[in-house]
Amino acid sequence: MGTVTIQHGKEKPIQNQHPWIYSGAISKLTDDCQPGDIVTVVDSKGRFLGRGYYNPTSQIRVRMLTWQDETINEEWWYDQLSRAVHSRMVYQDEFDAGVNNAVRLVNAENDFLPGLVVDRYGEWLVLQSLTLGMDHHKEVLSNLLAEMLKPRGIYERSDVDIRRKEGLKDQTGLLWGEEPPSMIEIEENTLIFSVDVRNGHKTGFYLDQRENRGWLHDLLYLDGDDLHEDKRRVLNMFSYTGGFGLYALAAGVKQVVNVDSSQAVLKVAKDSIKRNELPLENAQFVTGDAFQVLRDYVTQGEQFDVVVLDPPKFAQSTKDVEGATRGYKDLNLQSFKLIRSGGYLMTFSCSGAISQDLFQKVVFGALADSGRQAQIIRHLSGSEDHPVALTFPEGAYLKGLLCRVW
């Protein structure tokens, strides 16, 4: 096994169990450090720090797997996977009760399995490998997952931009078992959604927003009386396949306007509303650019009781932060203008490069320009099955605010 030596003074984050070692922290490598291999990491005096996998193409040269002097073999992978899967056991009860059957089982670095995402959609699993090190182990991992969970099939969706930084091409297709159908029906809090694991975003669905969709439902269902009873209107910006919109209809709102730039995803949203026997006459679908649609609504004097803003990732890395904050500010500013007094804004950012603190400042900036008043009712984050390792603040990519607006 190859050995990677860390420069004197750069060992602290590794000792504190941050999982990434950048090229600049490494002083030397032995010749047997091969791309994708497991390596031993030592400090400048040769003392053991841990083990991880190595990729000379990536700026993140090593992703740490363990800080103990242990062998990374099949048994190790099994134990590590098993720990992640078993920590989702609360969902198993819901699975058995037919309430929730889609869950993230492995959340990469945050489950101490860097570069690996595994999502469960009913009887199917979707595996996403983000790194060369994980690519090397994906067959072993699929076999272990099959043994552990007995799915009908495991489909691979390793087609994310971040793979470019690892020097990798996209890889998709069947890894184990049967081919999944073109649409998998899942249940989320008793609502049925259709998931296209081949072409859908991420592994097919935004599982990370499950609990926030629940909060929207509760807000509309329980606190709905505070809103304008007979004309409650929800604007669901960046609807994707209808997530927040379906919850709003299920809570009994009079109208939901779903906006997305993709007509195809709105078609799925429409089908899901029918499938759940929710009132289609209460839903509208608008294909368009969110920035323009919001401006047009402001010009037209439209008003909503709740606006949900769930844009895609605007900042891919720290160099995009400035442009991204301008985008978030504009969306939030226009949205504030559209909310009736006493209504709500549910606003998100899923950019890892933008902290919760910065996001709140951006929303504050938008509020100041809008001339409105607002209160934070709740800080929002990813669902419970998307844990964030305390050693890895980068894992907290999804953040949001629920604000009451006056």
- The site for ligand SAH (CB under 6 A) is made up of 206, 209, 238, 240-241, 243-244, 260-262, 265, 289-290, 310, 312
403 a catalytic residue = no
Closest CA to 134 of 149, 106, 114: 114
Catalytic residue, from 266, 350, 380, 389: name it.
350
Cβ of residue 118: shortest distance to ligand SAH, in angstroms?
19
Strands of the sheet containing 60-66, edge to edge, are 20-22, 60-66, 48-54, 38-42, 2-6, 26-29
Q: Count Cβ atoms below 10 Å from residue 95 Cβ, excluding itself.
A: 18
Tokens encoding 268? 């799925």
In the bound state, the residue with its beta carbon closest to ligand SAH is 243
Q: Pseudo-torsion of CA 207, 149, 161, 351, nearest 10°?
A: 30
Distances (CA, A) of 380 to 161, 211, 241, 389: 26, 9, 21, 17
Task: Give the residue with the Cβ less far from ligand SAH, 262 or 276.
Answer: 262
CA dist 144 and 340 (Å) reads 52
- Retrieve residue 349's tokens: 């950012």
- Which residue number, 158 or 209, has a Cβ lying nearer to ligand SAH? 209
Q: Which is nearer to ligand SAH, 131 or 258 (CB)?
A: 258
264 SS3 class = helix
Q: Which of 292, 130, 275, 100 is nearest to 205 (CA)?
A: 100
Nearer to ligand SAH, 167 or 288 (CB): 288
Which residues does the annotation mark as catalytic?
350
